[in-house]
Every structure is written in C-alpha cells, then in structure tokens.
Amino acid sequence: MEGRLQTVSGTVEFIWETDRELLVNLEPDRPGAPHTFEVGGGLRQRLADTLAEGDKVEIDFVAISHEVIDPDSGPSDSLRPDVRDVRVVRRR
C-alpha cells in the first residue's frame, strides 16, 4: 500500500554514489522530516552529474512499507521513502 505524495526540501549534505543508485542525505528545512533518500533508475542517471553537495533541493516521495529485521527483536514493519522526483532549487 502506498501513501500520498509528499515533498521535503533541504540542503544536500552528502551524496554516496554506486552503479545502481545515489544515496542522498539532506539537512531538511523542517525538523523531523525524512533526510535520507535512495535514488535509482532513470532519475539516478539524470541526477548523477548534476546534483552536488550544498545544493538546495525538493524531493517528492511516497512512503512505502518494508520489513526491517533487527537481530535482537526480529522482523518489524517500517516506512521508507520511495523517491519520485528531485528538483534542484538553488545551486550551491
């Protein structure tokens, strides 16, 4: 089950790049907002050479449920952001 489309804005603090995805960590404008996002597929390809640390961005996402397995307490359900779009609002 998917939730509603949400948008978070903030400043890119860190980008980790792999062959399949970008891991983007934000300092969100709103305290408590999601701050870590995995960006894959065509969106990753579009952003790979254009997104930089210090850029101000808006990220559209839908919260989806997924299972987390904790070695001490076992499986539990959690939510993670499924990124739909990333827009650079201001370059650093």
What domains can be seen in the chain, in order of their start residue? 2-90 (2.40.50.140)
pLDDT of residue 80: 75
Task: Give the pairing type, strands 21-28 and 36-40.
Answer: antiparallel
CA angle centred on 61, ends 64 and 80, rounded to 5°: 35
pLDDT of residue 68: 66
pLDDT of residue 24: 96
Report d(CA 83, CA 58) in Å as an integer: 11
pLDDT of residue 25: 96
* Torsion angles phi and psi, residue 36, rounded to 5: -125, 130
> Can you point out the beta strands (E) in the chain?
2-17, 21-28, 36-40, 56-70, 74-90
Q: Which of 92, 82, 41 is nearest to 60 (CA)?
A: 82
Positions in the chain whose pLDDT score sits under 70: 1-2, 66-68, 74-78
pLDDT of residue 81: 80
